[in-house]
């Protein structure tokens, strides 16, 4: 989704802003733009369709300089991804770049048009620029005009705005879309995400919904929704800026796949107590009185996070014996869910900004549920709005396709299942200990997989021209099948379906012929024999079997066309291991096909529209 970078300081800021936009490219976009104050009263603006490199080309042909500016990458919502619709947008003395959706923009546009204002784009953003410009006539200054405009706007926004008439100021506003502010001794920054400006500062302030801020070279002033000055706490970000770089890997996705052993150690760090066979989740603010009465858990999420939620159902129901519902966030709020004060609603989200998940979380809260989130991005909106937070600590995930965020989600869900099971007395200390040991063994098991990539490269060579793939799994491997199919679709553009193995005979078996690769996810678990029978049914119809099995498997590996061996681990952590295998299948097929792996077409990393 869109990304914004704003700068006001002492240096020539065009390279700083362009570099910041590069760090936001992972969000997914289809056009870009840059505005710089060349002199106090001359603003230079360039915009380009497509990749940031197109904008950079225009800039290099005719570079310009200035120490105040803003840049934007746009993921089209209102209007095609053309140059004319690209941000920044101009109205009178105003230049503005925006992330979000203005829901009442048509009403505002008509009103402003009736006052004689002319629009050059199809965007909702240009309407905001005009609205602020029209409010300037009766306002004390730009900030005042922005606040007057905000009182008429409905929707989500995070924007940076400047005016030729106020050369010493950048004004920022945020509501239900991410925006962070940073400052060093020379400059103030505003950005949609931390990596954009992490090389310039480690100190960040996170705005609340409804906040506005005035940035000058000397200071940052923040105002709440009522317009009153407020202090928002400054957070020190510990990540190394380099952790958001490719570090020699061909793609961010591959780097992030390889990071998983380390990130899982980070997720577990300080949270496991082997002696007690328990998990230390003091940070999770759920009191004993609530835990005693909780009678239902609803997990809400989208995409890959939803599949993690499905695995979570197996883990929590199976071991903590609390009923778990799993809902697609985009469906939850429209299905009139049954919720009361004994319901725990858990939102799972890597970004913490997914609009559907946020809306579902708010709905659950409104209906009286206690809320919690499993989230990767600190201080994200979902984290801030949840009663309790369990951070995954996967570090910045840049590739659009989620990998390390999802395996660390599974680790977080495992810890939660142990923690709940121990508190509900459904799990003994010994059981807890065995599970913790299994979790601690996961990084080494993943490293074993990562040490031999040849089978995945072979699969890519043999099957990259297939039209469609079928992924089969049973029990906790069923969500892995769904995740494998999603990952393949996303980055290789090959159609794929995930199915519960037992369901195949009820329909999709009709698709199977000698051209259909079938990824059978069949580690040695309680339902292994059943999965084998289902795979044999597919084999009997000439399907090409790619079997993900445990080392030493002497059954499925005999009939499979390609065998991927994974290490033997405790059944409860098997989905974490098989996730890695399906990630690698997709990655190498997409790499073989030469697709844009880190930024697949039409996709955005942080989906901030419903
Ligand atoms: C798939 C993927 C998406 C996200 C989904 C939810 O690889 O990344 O399906 O999982 O958009 O995003 P978050 O977890 O940020 O809420």
**pLDDT of 547-564, one tens digit each?**
999 999 989 999 999 999
Q: Which amino acid residue places its CA nearest to atom 7 of ligand 1?
A: 401
Give helix 52-61 / helix 14-24 axis angle, nearest 10°: 170
For ligand 1, the distance from its centroid to the CA atom of residue 402, given in whole angstroms, is: 6
pLDDT for the residue numbered 244: 65
pLDDT for the residue numbered 190: 97
Q: Which amino acid residue places its CA nearest to atom 3 of ligand 1?
A: 303
In sequence order, the 6+-apart residues with CB closer than 8 A to the CB of 51 are 32
For ligand 1, the distance from its centroid to the CA atom of residue 605, given in whole angstroms, is: 7
Q: Which amino acid residue places its CA nearest to atom 4 of ligand 1?
A: 303
pLDDT for the residue numbered 76: 82
- Strand order of the sheet with strand 89-91? 89-91, 94-102, 155-163, 170-175, 212-215, 220-223, 229-230
Domain 252-450: which CATH number of 3.40.50.300, 3.40.50.2300, 3.40.50.10490, 3.40.50.1100: 3.40.50.10490
End-to-end CA distance of the chain: 12
Strands (E) in 442-533, as ranges, are 468-473, 495-500, 517-521
Q: How far apart are the C-alpha atoms of 139 and 133, rounded to whole Å?
A: 10
pLDDT digit string, tens, across residues 2-51? 899 999 999 999 999 999 999 998 887 889 999 999 887 788 999 999 99
Residues within 6 Å of ligand 1 by CB: 302-305, 349-351, 354, 357, 401-402, 486, 490, 607
Q: How far apart are the C-alpha atoms of 563 and 551, rounded to whole Å?
A: 10
For ligand 1, the distance from its centroid to the CA atom of residue 253, given in whole angstroms, is: 14
For ligand 1, the distance from its centroid to the CA atom of residue 301, given in whole angstroms, is: 8
State percent of the chain over pLDDT 90.
78
pLDDT for the residue numbered 483: 98
Q: Which amino acid residue places its CA nearest to atom 16 of ligand 1?
A: 349
CA 488 to each of CA 450, 482, 520, 591: distance values in angstroms, whole numbers, following the listed order: 19, 10, 14, 11
Choose which residue among 253, 256, 354, 582 to substitute to test ligand 1 binding: the one with the highest number of ligand atoms within 8 A of its C-beta. Answer: 354
**Which regions of the chain carry the CATH code 3.40.50.10490?**
252-450, 454-593
Q: How far apart are the C-alpha atoms of 430 and 475, rounded to whole Å?
A: 24
From the CA of 301, give the closest atom in ligand 1.
Answer: 16
From the CA of 377, give the closest atom in ligand 1.
Answer: 15
Residue 209: how many CB atoms within 10 A of its CB? 15
143 closest CA partner among 230, 216, 214: 214
Element (H, E) at 419: helix 404-423
For ligand 1, the distance from its centroid to the CA atom of residue 328, given in whole angstroms, is: 12
Mean pLDDT value across residues 376-404: 92
Q: Which of these is catalytic: 313, 370, 539, 605?
A: 605
pLDDT for the residue numbered 176: 81
Mean pLDDT value across residues 354-363: 94
pLDDT for the residue numbered 248: 83
From the CA of 306, give the closest atom in ligand 1.
Answer: 10
Strands (E) in 184-248, as ranges, are 187-191, 203-206, 212-215, 220-223, 229-230, 234-236
Residue 508: how many CB atoms within 10 A of its CB? 16
Residue 298: how many CB atoms within 10 A of its CB? 23
**Which regions of the chain carry the CATH code 3.60.20.10?**
3-240
> For residues 52-68, b (16+ Cβ closer than 10 Å) or e, as one string?
bebbbeebeeeebebbb
For ligand 1, the distance from its centroid to the CA atom of residue 392, given in whole angstroms, is: 14
Mean pLDDT value across residues 387-407: 94
Place of tokens 């920022």: 172
pLDDT for the residue numbered 240: 67
Burial of 239 by CB count in 10 Å (0-12 exposed, 13-18 middle, 19+ buried)?
A: middle
Backbone angles phi, psi at 437, to 5 degrees: -60, -40
Residue 544 known to be catalytic: no
Structural tokens at position 203: 């100190």
pLDDT for the residue numbered 345: 97
Give helix 454-463 / helix 574-593 axis angle, nearest 10°: 50
- Between 472 and 600, name the one with better pLDDT: 472
For ligand 1, the distance from its centroid to the CA atom of residue 346, given in whole angstroms, is: 16
pLDDT digit string, tens, across residues 160-216? 999 999 999 999 999 988 899 999 999 999 999 888 999 999 999 999 889 999 999
Confidence bin at 544 (pLDDT 50/70/90): very high
In 62-187, which ranges are continuous DSSP H helix? 105-114, 125-136, 142-150
- The mean of the pLDDT values for the chain is 93
Q: Which of these is catalytic: 2, 302, 373, 375?
A: 2
CATH 3.30.70.1400 fits 454-593, yes or no: no
Domain 3-240: which CATH number of 3.40.50.2300, 3.40.50.1980, 3.60.20.10, 3.40.190.10: 3.60.20.10
Predicted confidence (pLDDT) at residue 247 exceeds the cutoff of 90: no
**Quick check: 102 and 127 in contact, CB under 8 A?**
yes
**Quick check: 66 and 15 in contact, CB under 8 A?**
no
From the CA of 302, give the closest atom in ligand 1.
Answer: 6
Element (H, E) at 486: helix 477-492
Choose which residue among 178, 304, 382 to substitute to test ligand 1 binding: the one with the highest number of ligand atoms within 8 A of its C-beta. Answer: 304
Q: How far apart are the C-alpha atoms of 137 and 129, rounded to whole Å?
A: 14
From the CA of 351, give the closest atom in ligand 1.
Answer: 15
**Quick check: 26 and 252 in contact, CB under 8 A?**
yes
Q: How far apart are the C-alpha atoms of 592 and 452, rounded to whole Å?
A: 17
**Quick check: 496 and 258 in contact, CB under 8 A?**
no
CA 334 to each of CA 100, 362, 372: distance values in angstroms, whole numbers, following the listed order: 22, 13, 20
In sequence order, the 6+-apart residues with CB closer than 8 A to the CB of 473 are 479, 480, 481, 498, 500, 501, 520, 521, 522, 531, 578
From the CA of 607, give the closest atom in ligand 1.
Answer: 11
pLDDT for the residue numbered 251: 94
Q: Residue 234: beta bridge partners? A: 205
Q: How far apart are the C-alpha atoms of 439 and 80, rounded to whole Å?
A: 47
**Quick check: 606 and 1 in contact, CB under 8 A?**
yes
3-state DSSP assignment of residue 495: strand
Residue 203 known to be catalytic: no
Choose which residue among 346, 350, 381, 605 to substitute to test ligand 1 binding: the one with the highest number of ligand atoms within 8 A of its C-beta. Answer: 350
Confidence bin at 241 (pLDDT 50/70/90): low
Q: Cis peptide before 88, with omega less than 30 degrees from 0?
A: yes
Q: Which amino acid residue places its CA nearest to atom 5 of ligand 1?
A: 303
Q: How far apart are the C-alpha atoms of 433 and 382, rounded to whole Å?
A: 31
For ligand 1, the distance from its centroid to the CA atom of residue 587, given in whole angstroms, is: 17
Backbone angles phi, psi at 529, to 5 degrees: -60, -40
Confidence bin at 370 (pLDDT 50/70/90): very high
3-state DSSP assignment of residue 169: coil
Evaluate if pTM is beyond 0.85: no
């Amino acid at each position: 989704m869109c990304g914004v970078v704003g700068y006001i300081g002492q240096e020539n800021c065009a390279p700083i802003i362009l570099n910041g936009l590069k760090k936001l490219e992972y969000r997914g976009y289809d056009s870009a733009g840059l505005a710089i104050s060349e002199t106090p009263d001359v603003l230079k603006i360039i915009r380009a369709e497509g990749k940031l490199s197109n904008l950079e080309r225009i800039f290099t042909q005719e570079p310009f300089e200035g120490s105040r500016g803003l840049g934007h990458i746009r993921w089209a919502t209102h209007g095609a991804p053309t140059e004319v619709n690209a941000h920044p947008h101009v109205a009178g003395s105003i230049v503005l770049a925006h992330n979000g959706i203005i829901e009442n923009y048509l009403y505002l546009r008509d009103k402003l048009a009736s006052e004689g204002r002319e629009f050059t784009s199809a965007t909702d953003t240009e309407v905001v620029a005009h609205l602020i410009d029209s409010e300037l006539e009766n306002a004390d200054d730009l900030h005042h005009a922005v606040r007057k405009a905000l009182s008429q706007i409905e929707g989500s926004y995070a924007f940076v705005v400047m005016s030729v008439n106020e050369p010493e100021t950048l004004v920022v506003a945020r509501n239900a879309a991410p925006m962070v502010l940073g400052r060093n001794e020379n400059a103030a920054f505003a950005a949609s995400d931390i990596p954009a400006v992490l090389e310039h500062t480690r100190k960040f302030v996170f705005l609340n919904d409804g906040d506005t801020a005035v940035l000058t070279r000397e200071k940052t002033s923040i105002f709440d929704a009522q317009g009153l000055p407020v202090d928002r706490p400054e957070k020190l970000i510990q990540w190394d800026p380099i952790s958001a770089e490719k570090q020699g890997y061909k793609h961010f996705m591959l780097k992030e796949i390889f990071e998983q052993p380390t990130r899982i150690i980070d997720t577990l760090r300080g949270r496991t107590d082997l002696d007690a066979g328990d998990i230390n989740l003091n940070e999770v603010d759920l009191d004993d009185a609530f835990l005693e009465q909780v009678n239902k858990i609803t997990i809400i999420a989208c995409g890959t996070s939803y599949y993690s939620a499905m695995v979570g159902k197996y883990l929590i129901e199976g071991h903590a014996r609390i009923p778990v519902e799993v809902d697609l966030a985009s469906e939850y709020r429209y299905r009139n869910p049954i919720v009361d004060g004994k319901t725990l609603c858990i939102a799972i989200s890597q970004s913490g900004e997914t609009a559907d998940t946020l809306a579902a979380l708010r709905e659950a809260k409104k209906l009286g549920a206690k809320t919690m989130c499993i989230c990767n991005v600190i201080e994200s909106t979902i984290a801030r709005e949840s009663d309790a937070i369990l951070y995954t600590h996967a570090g910045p995930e840049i590739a659009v396709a989620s990998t390390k965020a999802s395996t660390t989600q599974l680790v977080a869900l495992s810890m939660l299942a142990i923690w709940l099971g121990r508190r509900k007395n459904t799990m003994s200390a010994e059981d807890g200990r065995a599970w913790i040991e299994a979790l601690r063994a996961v990084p080494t098991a993943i490293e074993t997989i990562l040490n031999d990539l040849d089978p995945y490269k072979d699969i890519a060579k043999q099957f990259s021209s297939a039209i469609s793939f079928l992924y089969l799994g049973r029990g906790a491997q069923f969500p892995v099948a769904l995740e494998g199919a999603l990952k393949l679709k996303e980055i290789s553009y090959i159609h794929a379906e995930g199915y519960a193995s037992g369901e195949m005979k009820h329909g999709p078996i009709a698709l199977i012929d000698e051209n259909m690769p079938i990824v059978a996810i069949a580690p040695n678990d309680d339902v292994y024999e059943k999965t084998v029978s289902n795979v044999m049914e597919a084999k009997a119809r000439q399907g090409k079997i790619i079997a993900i099995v445990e080392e030493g498997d002497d059954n499925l590996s005999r009939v499979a066309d390609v065998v991927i061996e994974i290490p033997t681990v405790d059944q409860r952590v098997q989905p974490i291991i098989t996730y890695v295998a399906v990630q690698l299948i997709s990655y190498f097929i997409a790499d073989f096909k030469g697709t844009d792996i880190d930024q697949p077409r039409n996709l955005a990393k942080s989906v901030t529209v419903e």
